[in-house]
């Protein structure tokens, strides 16, 4: 039986009259950024504002001395006290390494905070190609280190900090978890939503091509912007592309989610397999009939609501 778009998604897409995105030439990151951020802004505008969630901006200093914006989201009744009181999550937004921002994901993060009652710190990491590797992941690390250093005053138990991200942010979350392991900062969990893990995934799969939104040319553009001419070569470090890591031992337990029509499917499956092979607990969900970003495309579809319920369950379990 051949692949097909999930019926819930197909109905939602038809009712919303969502058109097929225009193809963008390989390596045209400017057009891809412009189109992608326009789409993100439109999707963000459909979400509730979560007015009960408080927001406060801070900055962290990255590896090269640059200041990075951090936005702290707290649910109602969150207590900031001298003693640790609960969990927190470092959230890293998606955007193929080249687009997106904290502002374009503001309502997304606020909604996670409101639904889970877990505070979140979003990092406005710098983007490629203006800021290639290691700037994005080091910015994310700076945010994580800042959260750990300020845990007590924020009412956070430093042993209950997790990293979470979607798409490129999922890849950065996985890379930040690798850095945290190697730099001696224990994490409670890594929550990877259709993460972008492997720079070598640029050869089109004709079975998936009819369904993808983030396509193989886009994927090449994002990775090439981040890595330059090292993309696809043996010189790519795991802190840029976590699939390159020789060992996944010692990482925090993982929750990984991907659609079966997503071009990231196989790299996610392999990462989950390698985690469990290294003795790391991994919960894996492969959603039938779902392409990349399915939950943002049709957030009211039943399949999107079910996936969201799983994410909230994992957050609440922290």
pLDDT in tens, 10-53: 887 776 555 556 789 999 999 999 999 999 999 999 998 888 99
Place of tokens 């994310």: 140
pLDDT at 88 (0 to 100): 98
**Which of 170-174, 257-261, 301-305 shows the lowest mean pLDDT across its residues?**
301-305
**Which of 130-134, 196-200, 212-216 shows the lowest mean pLDDT across its residues?**
212-216
pLDDT band for 213, please (50, 70, 90 cuts).
Answer: confident
pLDDT band for 203, please (50, 70, 90 cuts).
Answer: confident
Please check whether residue 171 is in contact with residue 197, taking contact to mean a CB–CB distance below 8 angstroms: yes
Write down the H helix ranges in 117-191: 135-149, 168-183
pLDDT reading at 1 higher than 80:
no
pTM of the model: 0.96
Mind listing the pLDDT tens digit for each residue in 286-318?
999 999 999 998 898 899 999 999 999 999 999
pLDDT at 57 (0 to 100): 98
Q: Is the peptide bond before 129 cis (omega within 30 degrees of 0)?
A: yes
Please check whether residue 189 is in contact with residue 162, taking contact to mean a CB–CB distance below 8 angstroms: yes
Mind listing the pLDDT tens digit for each residue in 49-90?
888 999 999 999 999 999 999 999 999 877 665 566 899 999
CA 279 to chain CA centroid, Å, is: 23
- The CA–CA distances, whole Å, from 229 to 75, 78, 242, 300 equal 44, 46, 18, 41
Every domain of the chain and the residues it spans: 7-316
Give the residue among 250, 241, 245, 238 at the shortest CA–CA distance from 279: 250
Q: Domain 7-316 belongs to what architecture?
A: 3-Layer(aba) Sandwich (3.40)
Residue 204's contacts (CB-CB under 8 Å, 6 or more residues apart) are 215, 216
Which residues are marked as active site? 167, 262, 292
Euclidean distance between CA atoms 117 and 146, whole angstroms: 21
């Amino acid at each position: 039986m051949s692949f097909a778009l999930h019926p819930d998604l197909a109905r939602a897409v038809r009712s919303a009259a969502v058109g097929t995105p225009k193809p963008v030439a390989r390596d045209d990151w400017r057009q891809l950024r412009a189109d992608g951020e326009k789409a993100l802004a439109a999707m963000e505008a459909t979400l509730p504002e979560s007015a009960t969630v408080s927001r406060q901006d801070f900055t962290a200093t990255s590896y090269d001395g640059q200041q990075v914006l951090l936005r702290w989201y707290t649910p109602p009744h969150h207590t900031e006290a001298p003693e640790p009181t609960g969990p927190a999550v470092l959230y890293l937004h998606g955007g193929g390494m080249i687009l997106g921002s904290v502002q374009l994901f503001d309502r997304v993060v606020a909604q996670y905070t409101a639904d889970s009652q877990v505070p979140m710190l979003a990092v406005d990491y710098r983007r490629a190609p203006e800021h290639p590797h290691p700037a994005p992941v080091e910015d994310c690390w700076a945010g994580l280190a800042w959260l750990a250093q300020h845990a007590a005053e924020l009412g956070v138990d430093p042993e209950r900090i997790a990293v979470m991200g979607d798409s490129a942010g999922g890849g950065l979350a996985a890379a930040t978890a690798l850095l945290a392991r190697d730099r001696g900062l224990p994490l409670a969990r890594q929550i990877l939503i259709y993460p972008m893990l492997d720079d070598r995934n640029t050869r089109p799969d004709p079975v998936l091509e009819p369904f993808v939104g983030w396509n193989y040319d886009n994927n090449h553009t994002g990775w090439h912007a981040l890595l330059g001419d090292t993309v696809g070569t043996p010189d790519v470090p795991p802190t840029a592309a976590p699939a390159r890591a020789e060992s996944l031992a010692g990482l925090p337990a993982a929750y990984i989610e991907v659609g079966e029509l997503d071009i990231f499917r196989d790299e996610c499956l392999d990462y989950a397999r390698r985690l469990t092979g290294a003795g790391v607990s991994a919960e894996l969900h492969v959603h039938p009939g779902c392409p990349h970003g399915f939950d943002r495309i049709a957030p009211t579809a039943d399949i999107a609501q079910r996936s969201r319920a799983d994410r909230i369950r994992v957050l609440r379990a922290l």
